[in-house]
Amino acid sequence: MRRRQFLSLATSAAAASAFGPRAVHAQAASAPRIAILSIPVPSSTFDAVAEGLANYGYVEGRNIVTQRFTAPTTAEVPAYAARAVASQPAAILCLGTPPTREAMRATATIPIVMLAVNDPLGNRFIASYAHPGGNVTGNTGTASDLISKQLALLKELVPRLRRVAVLYLGADPSAARVIGELGPAARALHLEPVLVDFTEAQDFASQLARVAAAGVGGFITISSQYFNTRRSEILEFEIRNRIPWMDAIPNAVPLPGVIAYGANLNTLYRQSGYYVDAILKGTRPADIPVQQPTQLDLALNLSTARAIGLSVPPSILAQATIVVK
Secondary element (H or E) of residue 167 = strand 163-169
Q: How far apart are CA 200 and CA 197, in angstroms?
A: 10
Query: What is the DSSP code (8-state) at residue 165?
Result: E
According to the model, what pLDDT value does residue 225 have? 86
In the structure, what pLDDT confidence band is assigned to residue 4 with cuts at 50, 70 and 90?
very low
Identify the domain containing residue 67 by its residue range: 2-140+265-287
Per-residue model confidence as pLDDT tens digits over 270-299:
999 999 999 999 999 999 999 999 889 999
Give yes or no: residues 128 and 202 share one domain: no
Backbone phi, psi, residue 136, to 5°: -125, 140
For the segment 116-153, what is each residue's pLDDT rounded down to a tens digit? 999 999 999 999 999 999 999 999 999 888 999 999 99
Burial 299-309 (b: 16+ CB within 10 A, else e): bbbeebbeebe
Q: Are residues 173 and 300 in the same domain?
A: yes
**Contact (Cβ atoms closer than 8 angstroms) between residue 124 and residue 156:** no
87 and 180: one domain?
no
For the chain, the farthest-separated pair of C-alpha atoms sits apart, in whole angstroms, at 69
Are both 102 and 161 inside the same structural domain? Answer: no
Residue 106 clears pLDDT 80, i.e. is over it: yes
Give the chain's domain count: 2
Give the span between the Cα atoms of 234 and 256, in whole angstroms. 9
Question: Tell me, what's the pLDDT at 254?
Answer: 76
250 and 173 within one domain: yes
Identity of residue 202: Q
Q: Residues 22, 61: one domain?
A: yes
pLDDT band per the 50, 70, 90 thresholds, residue 255: confident
CATH number assigned to the domain comprising residue 90: 3.40.50.2300
Do 282 and 255 reside in the same domain of the chain?
A: no
| Distance (Å, whole) CA 260 – CA 210 | 22
